[in-house]
């Protein structure tokens, strides 16, 4: 126990006390410092907050430089890009709605209408992200130029563009959730297939890369192994003859398409669940650590009780009682895993509370809320933030496990766990096991590597 304590005391220094850290930086840091000072003087913001920003920036610089040293972490950060691209641009990669469809003299664009009409809300939000991507990229490039002239540091520019992207995504989701505002999907019921195929002279269709939809069933092609291509005499539609790269499932849906759309579900569950529990954990932990006394006692007991229950079993029970749905899964994972975070933050806040700057802030008349959220938490939050990538990986695993047991995503929505479930029912269809397994392994490894890189960078003492 003594050993543990000693370790803890030392390990948090770089993370928790950036101010003292800064003053001790070697000469190499002074360049960034200068840059920041320049920037702040030019934008003529109030001195106090400018100093705050400057120091925060310097700390992030240190973290980033440390992170870059870890090659695996850096690579896996790049590996995240295709995963996100796959999630955001899923309909552009795989859809049974043609981009363009010509029949006789008429030309229509079913794909552009279809992306506004989805079964699952998650899909809709991601589609909005897809629509917003290029405009935001354009605006971002322009703004980037503008900000660079005003000497806004690089990572801050990136962060601002990301925030803008999320805002645009949310705005688009809200705007197009009104039925009147989105283009009607009058082609949905129509099959683009038969007449087109029978009259190839007069019709032309341009499909996405994989011309299969996520819930498009084909009863005549059940459980076909990877590489299956429908023989010509059985074809009913124009997209039918395309190769099923990863085979099909029990209702003849294309596995590759399902994998791509499943990425959306996995990432959503991962990030939303982690977002929920990090938020709860930080708030609860900060309150316990800052107020101490009876509040702390009570909250610590609650944390203890929550941690007593075996996590997966508890989640399984709650999901079974409330009813399976990804939204419920996200919320339940979020509501059951906050306890360790709260404990971590509590310890950090306890440590920070006794440092002089808190006394200074309260002497200046800052309210408790302000002290907690503006002064203490920015210094105490990094150990919790480090757990985010691990948490996302964990939540993805949990969701897949629940789906595997039949308590997860409802069947028409494609998800990796559902495919695994089909595979586990009969191992003869090996691709239903192997493909989602490999995808999960890659995703989880990438997130874990990013997480360990972050941990090493923020907290060198914790390095394994």
Residue whose CB is less far from other proteins, 139 or 307: 307
Residue among 422, 413, 415 nearest 398 (CA): 415
Query: How near is the Cβ of 406 to other proteins at its closest, in Å?
Result: 8
- In angstroms, rounded to a whole number, what is the distance separating the alpha carbons of residues 262 and 7? 42
Q: Of residues 215, 333, 393, 419, which one binds other proteins by CB under 8 A?
A: 393
Stretch touching other proteins by CB under 8 A, among 262-270, 351-359, 376-384, 433-441 = 433-441
Q: Is 433 in the site for other proteins (CB under 8 A)?
A: yes
How many whole angstroms from its chain centre is CA 125?
Answer: 13
- Least separation, in Å, of the C-beta of 3 and other proteins? 7
Cα angle 421-425-430, degrees, rounded to a multiple of 5:
85
- Least Å distance, CB 407 to other proteins, is 8
DSSP code, position 324? -
Over the window 399 to 428, marking each residue x when it contacts other proteins by CB under 8 A and - when it does not, the resulting string is: -xx--xxxx------------x--xx--xx
Can you say whether the dihedral through the CA atoms of 437, 443, 447, 448 is positive or negative? positive
Residue holding tokens 């925030």? 163
Q: Which is nearer to other proteins, 73 or 114 (CB)?
A: 73
Cα separation of 127 and 284, whole Å?
35
361 binds other proteins (CB under 8 A): no
Instruction: Provide CB contacts within 8 A for 123, sequence distance 6+.
Output: 90, 214, 261, 264
Question: What SS3 state is found at 98?
Answer: coil
Q: Give 2 or 149: the residue with its C-beta nearer to other proteins.
A: 2
**According to CB under 8 A, which one of 304, 374, 425, 460 is a site residue for other proteins?**
304
- The answer to whether 255 and 249 have CB atoms below 8 angstroms apart is yes
For residue 306, CA distances in Å to 56, 336, 377, 386, 393 come to 34, 7, 23, 22, 21
Task: Write the CA distances from 403 to 65, 406, 416, integer angstroms.
Answer: 39, 5, 8
- Binding residue for other proteins, selected from 138, 142, 320, 360, defined by CB under 8 A: 320
Nearer to other proteins, 139 or 318 (CB): 318
Stretch that binds other proteins, among 188-196, 214-222, 243-251, 299-307 (CB under 8 A): 299-307
The reply on whether position 27 binds other proteins by CB under 8 A is no
Q: Does 335 bind other proteins (CB under 8 A)?
A: no
Residue 173 or 266 having the CB closest to other proteins = 266
Non-local (6+) Cβ contacts of 260 within 8 A are 86, 87, 90, 93, 94, 210, 214
> Judged by CB under 8 A, how many residues of this single chain contact other proteins?
47
Choose the binding region for other proteins from 90-98, 244-252, 376-384, 396-404 (rule: CB under 8 A): 396-404
DSSP H helices, 177-221, are: 194-198
What residues from 120 to 149 belong to the interface with other proteins (CB under 8 A)? none
Among 283, 302, 350, 355, binds other proteins (CB under 8 A): 302
Considering only residues 27, 219, 321, 363, which one is a binding residue for other proteins as defined by CB under 8 A? 321
Which segment (44-52, 187-195, 277-285, 310-318) binds other proteins by CB under 8 A? 310-318
Residue 449 makes contact with other proteins by CB under 8 A: yes
Buried-state track 223-246, b at ≥16 Cβ within 10 A, e below 16 = bbebebebeeeeeebbbbeeebbb
Calpha distance 327→176 (Å, rounded): 20
What's the rounded Cα separation, in Å, for the pair 344 and 350? Answer: 10
- Residue 317 is a binding residue for other proteins (CB under 8 A): yes
Q: What is the CA radius of gyration of the chain?
A: 26
Residue 373 is a binding residue for other proteins (CB under 8 A): no
Nearest approach, Cβ of 318 to other proteins (angstroms)?
7
63: nearest Cα among 449, 287, 386, 315: 386
Q: Map the footprint of other proteins across residues 48-107, applying CB under 8 A.
A: 72
Burial of 217 (0-12, 13-18, 19+ CB in 10 A): middle
Taking the C-alpha atoms of residue 150 and residue 38, their distance in angstroms, rounded to an integer, is 10
436 with 416: CB under 8 angstroms? yes
Task: Please state the closest distance from residue 442 (CB atom) to other proteins, in A.
Answer: 9
Q: How far is the CB of 306 from other proteins (least distance, A)?
A: 8
CB nearer to other proteins: give 406 or 412: 406
Write the binding mask 241 to 280 for other proteins: x where contact by CB under 8 A, - elsewhere.
----------------------------------------
Residues lying near other proteins in the complex (CB under 8 A) are found at 1-3, 72, 301-302, 304-305, 307-310, 312-314, 316-318, 320-323, 393, 397, 400-401, 404-407, 420, 423-424, 427-428, 430, 433-434, 437, 440-441, 444-445, 448-449, 452, 464
């Amino acid at each position: 126990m003594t050993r543990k304590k000693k370790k803890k005391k030392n390990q948090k220094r770089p993370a928790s006390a950036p101010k003292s850290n800064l003053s001790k930086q070697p000469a190499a840091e002074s360049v960034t410092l200068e840059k920041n000072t320049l920037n702040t003087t030019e934008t003529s913001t109030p001195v106090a907050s400018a100093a705050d920003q400057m120091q925060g920036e310097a700390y992030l610089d240190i973290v980033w430089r440390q992170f870059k040293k870890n090659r695996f972490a850096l690579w896996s950060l790049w590996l995240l890009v295709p995963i996100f691209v796959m999630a955001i641009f899923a309909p552009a990669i795989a859809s049974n709605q043609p981009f363009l469809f010509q029949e006789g003299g008429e030309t229509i664009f079913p794909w552009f209408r279809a992306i506004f009409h989805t079964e699952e809300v998650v899909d809709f939000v991601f589609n909005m992200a897809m629509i917003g991507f290029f405009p935001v990229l354009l605006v971002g490039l322009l703004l980037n130029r503008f900000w660079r002239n005003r000497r806004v540091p690089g990572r801050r520019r990136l962060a601002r563009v990301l925030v803008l992207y999320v805002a645009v995504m949310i705005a688009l989701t809200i705007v197009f959730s009104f039925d009147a505002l989105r283009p009607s999907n009058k082609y949905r019921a129509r099959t683009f297939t038969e007449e087109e195929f029978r009259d190839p002279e007069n019709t032309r269709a341009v499909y996405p890369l994989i011309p299969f939809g996520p819930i498009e069933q084909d009863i005549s092609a059940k459980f076909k192994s990877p590489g299956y291509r429908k023989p010509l005499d059985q074809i009913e539609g124009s997209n039918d003859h395309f190769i099923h790269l990863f085979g099909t499932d029990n209702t003849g849906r294309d596995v590759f398409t399902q994998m791509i759309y499943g990425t959306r579900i996995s990432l959503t569950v991962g990030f939303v669940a982690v977002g929920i529990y990090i938020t709860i954990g930080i708030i609860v932990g900060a309150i316990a650590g800052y107020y101490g006394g009876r509040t702390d006692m009570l909250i610590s007991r609650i944390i203890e009780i929550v941690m007593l229950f075996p996590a997966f079993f508890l989640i399984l029970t709650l999901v079974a009682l409330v009813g399976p749905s990804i939204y419920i899964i996200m919320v339940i994972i979020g509501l059951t895993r906050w306890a360790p975070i709260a404990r971590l933050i509590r310890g950090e806040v306890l440590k920070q509370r006794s440092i002089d700057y808190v006394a200074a802030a309260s002497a200046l008349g800052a309210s408790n809320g302000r002290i907690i959220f503006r002064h203490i938490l920015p210094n105490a939050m990094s150990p919790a933030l480090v757990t985010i990538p691990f948490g996302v990986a964990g939540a993805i695993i949990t969701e897949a496990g629940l789906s595997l047991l039949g308590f997860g995503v409802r069947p028409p929505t494609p998800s990796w766990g559902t495919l695994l479930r089909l595979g586990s029912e009969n191992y003869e269809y090996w691709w239903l096991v192997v493909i989602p397994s490999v995808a999960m392994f890659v995703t989880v490894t990438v997130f874990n590597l990013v997480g360990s890189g972050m941990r090493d960078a923020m907290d060198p003492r914790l390095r394994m």
